[in-house]
Amino acid sequence: MLRHFRDGSRALRTAFVVLMLVGMSTTVLAHPAPFSFVDIHIDTTTVDLEVVMHVFDVAYELGIDTPNEALDPAVLRRGAGRLAELLRERLHFTVDGRSLSVDVSSWSAPAPLAERQSVSMRARVDLGRGPGVVEVAAVMFPYDPAHQTFLNFYDAGELTSQAILGGDDTSFEYFVGSRQGILAVIQKFVPQGAYHILIGPDHLLFLIGLLLLGGPVRRLLLVITGFTVAHSVTLALAVLGVVSPPGGVVEPVIALSIVYVGADNLLVREGRDMRVWIALVFGLIHGFGFASVLREMGLPTGALGWSLFSFNLGVEIGQVAVAVVVAAALMAIRRRSDVAGRRVALVGSIGVIAAGVFWFVQRVFFSGGMA
């Protein structure tokens, strides 16, 4: 009898575990995917918006116990004001740097979408002029950290870009495929290119190292141009995904390029000026470094060419500004004293080598190296 009792207890425990697993799986299956959708239709002077929210989220916001009740038109009529206020608080639009106000009264009455188990609301905003860049920021349902908001951008009736907001990604910029959009791309990426070259000590030191020996203006222009052409090629290849070496390889090689240019300055002899070739060869490596920054900025898929061109233009402007100042200062020193000019080149080259060695060791053996 004891054996039968033990067998019965074992059977009960097994049945309990099975029931628990079934209950858990049913709960998981019953819980909806935490998604919402925002469609942004951009026309010449207007933006049409549609927001689609799952009935579970709508029910939670309206305090409804049964999610399917959120598909009842009468329930939605009573909760229309609350849903419109929710959109005003948690969904924000910026057009060309100006906040786009979507009043509570601008939203249509919530409409049930039974086949999608969702609720839709629409709005139209008159801009008065063609937009260049539209930014969407949203944390639709903050009580659910797994929630994601899918953005669909329609430009002149065609779906041109998609994005997902969720977690740390709470905003997205879309550049319109029009003249205003191109101008917006240029206005954003030219300053970013100039800013990056000016705050990038390794790129700047490489460039300064190439200029330390001085020389005719034509030669210096060739050096700068060679560097620009080379890094432009690899920047484009990396951003387009054709070639994308890991940063753990690129950054130490950039440091070595700085060591090399300083050492070449010390070993150079009369009639042997390899700086243009050095700029071309190592410029290819520096282009991969620029690409990592550009990718982090988030490239507009509809204006990829213009963003690449604008970023490169900004880098070139920054390089020329630095080159003019450094070259002018070195020429002024040499005019006053050729000996002083040679000493500056010697000390500067040693400093360039030291910095390159420091960055190489830092990037190979320590984390958090400089970019």
What is the rounded CA–CA span in Å between residue 201 and residue 220? 20
Is residue 269 scored above 80 in pLDDT? Answer: no
- pTM of the predicted model as reported, rounded to 2 decimal places: 0.65
What is the rounded CA–CA span in Å between residue 131 and residue 251? 39
What is the rounded CA–CA span in Å between residue 139 and residue 153? 18
First to last CA, the chain: 76
Between 94 and 15, the more confident residue is 94
* pLDDT tens-digit series, residues 31-69: 455 689 999 999 888 899 999 999 999 999 999 888 889
Is residue 81 scored above 90 in pLDDT? Answer: yes
Contact 316, 228 (CB under 8 A): yes
Residue type, 96: D
User: Residue 15 has what pLDDT?
Assistant: 40
* pLDDT tens-digit series, residues 105-156: 899 999 999 999 999 999 998 887 778 888 999 999 988 888 999 999 998 7
User: Residue 270 has what pLDDT?
Assistant: 57
User: CA geometry: angle at 83 spanning 82 and 84, to 5°?
Assistant: 90
Confidence band, pLDDT 50/70/90 cuts, at residue 360: very high
Residue 212, φ and ψ in degrees, nearest 5? -60, -35
Tokens 């139209």 belong to residue: 124
User: Residue 299 has what pLDDT?
Assistant: 65
Least confident of 17-31, 151-165, 177-191, 344-358: 17-31
What is the rounded CA–CA span in Å between residue 5 and residue 50? 63
Strand partners, 50: 39, 122
Q: What is the dihedral of CA 31, 32, 35, 37, to 10 degrees?
A: -150
Residue type, 18: V
